[in-house]
Each structure stands twice: as structure tokens, then as C-alpha cells.
């Protein structure tokens, strides 16, 4: 049933039946405070469709995070191709329902995705990039052992904005060393 498992979480493919639940997360202004705007229901539906296509094309995407104790979908986490300052790179992304913040779920899911990415794909590095003011996301990158590699001005075409973003990365070798420690 799950593609990835941690002690508390199971990650599985998103499907269209997840639209309503995922909309409660991606459509929430507080959860999406580091985005130009929350997602509409239509944008969430398109988001899921793009991830399903990514599973077919690349073998990865953002997956539903299921709290194993209850079976509840509490967020999403996974790997996607992102353009970061003009370069296409594999990035770990995550969103957690605000009722489950500060419980370590995003870090736990992101750590599982990091190991999965290096074990199953020929990535030399994995990335996280986020709006410079998104300190919770930055802390997760640091907990994963990622290092800050640059700051850049990201053009958000859909909203005609330029927001400063930070980029974190970890190499395959660095991740292996962490697992051995």
C-alpha cells in the first residue's frame, strides 16, 4: 500500500480522490503563507494530475502522507523536478496540515524521501528551496543535513512577483556519511 514508510507515516501516490482533503491543506491561507496565494480547488486538482503524470514519467512526485495510527492524509511530501535559478534539479517538497505542525512529520517524511531519492535514482544532489522568510522549511533542510548553497531572486510568473529564495542541497556522499554516523 505504501511506497515509503517511517515509524509513524506511510507515503503513497496521490489520487483524484485526495482533492478535497489536499485542498484543506493547500487552500489554507496559513499553511500557504509562504506562497503568493493559497491554491484554489481547481489548482489542487491540477496539482494532483501533474504529480500522477510525474509518477509515470519519472517514477517520483509528491506523495500523500498518511498518519499510520489513524489512516488520515495529513500532507504531502516527495521529489519533483524544479527549476531553481535556471537549472532543473530534483527537489524535496512538503506541506503538512497545520493541525500537525511541530510534531516532526515533515522532517520524517522528507528524510524518507531523501533516502529514497538517493537509493533509487542517479541523483548527485537533492535540493530544497523556499522563500527566504520560510524559517520552518529552512530548519527542515538543515535537519536533513543540507547546506545553504545560494540565495536568488525567483520570478513567480503566475503572480508577477519576484521573491528572494534560499537553496539548500546535500550530495549523495554527504547523505551516505550521515546514515553511517
Model pLDDT for residues 126-143, shown as the tens digit of each residue? 999 999 999 999 999 999
Model pLDDT, residue 42: 96
**Phi and psi dihedrals of 120, rounded to 5?**
-115, -5
* Residues spanned by the domain of 129: 4-180
Q: Which three cell numbers stand for residue 1?
A: 500500500
Residue 129, strand partner residues: 167
What is the CATH number for 143? Answer: 3.40.630.30
Cα 94 → chain centroid: 3
In a 10 Å sphere around its CB, with 0-12 CB exposed, 13-18 middle and 19+ buried, how is residue 2 labelled?
Answer: middle
pTM: 0.93
Counting the structural domains of the chain, the total is 1
Alpha-carbon distance of 147 to 73, in angstroms, equals: 30
Model confidence at 85, in pLDDT bands (50, 70, 90)?
A: confident
| Mean pLDDT for the chain overall | 93
Amino acid at each position: 500500500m505504501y511506497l515509503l514508510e517511517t515509524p509513524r507515516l506511510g507515503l503513497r501516490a496521490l489520487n483524484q480522490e485526495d482533492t478535497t482533503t489536499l485542498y484543506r491543506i493547500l487552500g489554507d491561507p496559513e499553511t500557504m503563507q509562504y506562497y503568493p496565494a493559497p491554491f484554489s480547488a481547481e489548482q489542487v486538482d491540477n496539482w494532483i494530475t501533474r504529480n500522477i503524470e510525474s509518477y509515470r514519467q519519472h517514477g517520483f512526485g509528491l506523495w500523500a502522507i498518511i498518519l499510520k495510527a489513524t489512516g488520515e492524509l495529513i500532507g504531502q511530501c516527495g521529489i519533483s523536478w524544479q527549476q531553481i535559478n535556471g537549472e532543473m534539479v530534483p527537489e524535496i517538497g512538503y506541506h503538512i496540515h497545520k493541525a500537525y505542525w511541530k510534531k516532526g512529520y515533515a522532517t520524517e517524511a522528507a528524510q524518507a524521501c531523501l533516502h529514497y531519492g538517493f537509493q533509487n535514482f542517479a541523483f548527485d544532489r537533492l535540493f530544497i528551496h523556499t522563500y527566504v522568510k520560510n524559517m520552518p522549511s529552512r530548519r527542515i533542510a538543515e535537519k536533513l543535513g543540507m547546506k545553504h548553497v545560494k540565495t536568488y531572486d525567483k520570478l513567480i510568473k503566475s503572480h508577477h512577483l519576484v521573491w528572494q529564495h534560499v537553496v539548500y542541497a546535500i550530495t549523495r556522499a554527504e547523505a551516505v556519511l550521515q546514515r553511517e554516523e
